[in-house]
Amino acid sequence: MTNIALILGTTRSSSLGAQIFSYLKHQFPNTADVTYTWLDLRDYPLPFYDHPETPLDRPISHPTATEKAWLDQLAAQDGYVILSPEYDHAIPGGLKNALDLVGAQVDHKPVQVMTYSHYSDGGMLAAASVVPILQMLKMFVLPTPVLLWNADQNFTAEGTLRPDVANSDHFAHRLRAALAEVTFYSRLLKAHPYHA
C-alpha cells in the first residue's frame, strides 16, 4: 500500500484552495493500492514554533498534542502533495510554520508542489519559495510544479471543475498527471529507500 498526503496549505476560513482541495478529494478516492490522506491546515491549529530543538537535528521533545498529530500524520506517508496559494510572492505563514516543525518524518520522500492564484502567474513565486524549504527538509521535489492560474471560475465550492471555463481541461490533465507522478515516485522510493 502506498500512502500519499495531500496538504492544503492555507488557514483561511474561505479560500479558492478549499475548492480545489474538494475537487481533488472527489477525483482521487482511495484505491486498492493507494491511500490518500487529506491534511487541511485548518484542522491543525499549530502554535508558532517555540521549541529549543532544531527538528532537522533532533526531534521535538515536548510537542503539543496538535503538533504531534501533525507530525505523526506526515511520518505515516510515503509521498506528499502540497497545495498552496501565493501570499506576497511566497507561501502563507501558516504553511511555513507547519513546515518548520518537520524533520525526519519526510526525509528522502517525494513531494509534488501545486500552487494557485487569482492572477495569471498561477502562484509561480509561491512554488519557487517553497522548493528550497522542502530541499532543506531533504525531500525529493518533483521537477515540474502544477500552476493553476486565473482559477477562480474553474472550481466550484462543491468540488467540481467547470468544463465550459477556459483552461479547465488543462487543469484536469495536469492534476491527474501530477498525482500519477507522485504516486510513481512514492512507490519507487518506498520499495528502494535511500540510505546514506
**H or E element, residue 25:** helix 16-27
- 2 Cβ neighbours under 8 A, 6+ residues apart: 33, 34, 35, 78, 79, 183, 186, 187, 190
What's residue 14's pLDDT? 85
Residue 5 region, left (φ>0) first, then alpha (ψ -120 to 50), else beta?
A: beta
- Find where cell 483561511 sits: 12
What's residue 196's pLDDT? 73
Give the three-class secondary structure for 119.
coil
Q: Which letter, b or e, does each residue of 96-128 get, where b requires 16 or more Cβ atoms within 10 Å of its Cβ?
A: bebbbbbbbbbeebbbbbbbbbeeebbbbbbbb
Q: How many domains does the chain have?
A: 1
- 184 Cβ neighbours under 8 A, 6+ residues apart: none
C-alpha span between 79 and 76 (Å, rounded): 9
27 is a domain residue: yes
Q: In this predicted model, what pLDDT tens digit does every residue of 119-166 receive, in sequence order?
A: 888 899 999 999 999 999 999 999 999 999 999 999 998 989 999 999
196 is a domain residue: no
DSSP letter for 164, please.
T
CATH number at residue 146: 3.40.50.360
Q: In this predicted model, what pLDDT tens digit does every residue of 3-33 receive, in sequence order?
A: 999 999 999 988 999 999 999 999 999 999 9
Q: In this predicted model, what pLDDT tens digit does every residue of 67-110 receive, in sequence order?
A: 999 999 999 999 999 999 999 999 999 999 999 999 999 999 99
136 is a domain residue: yes
Q: Write out the residue range of the structural domain in which residue 110 sits.
A: 2-191
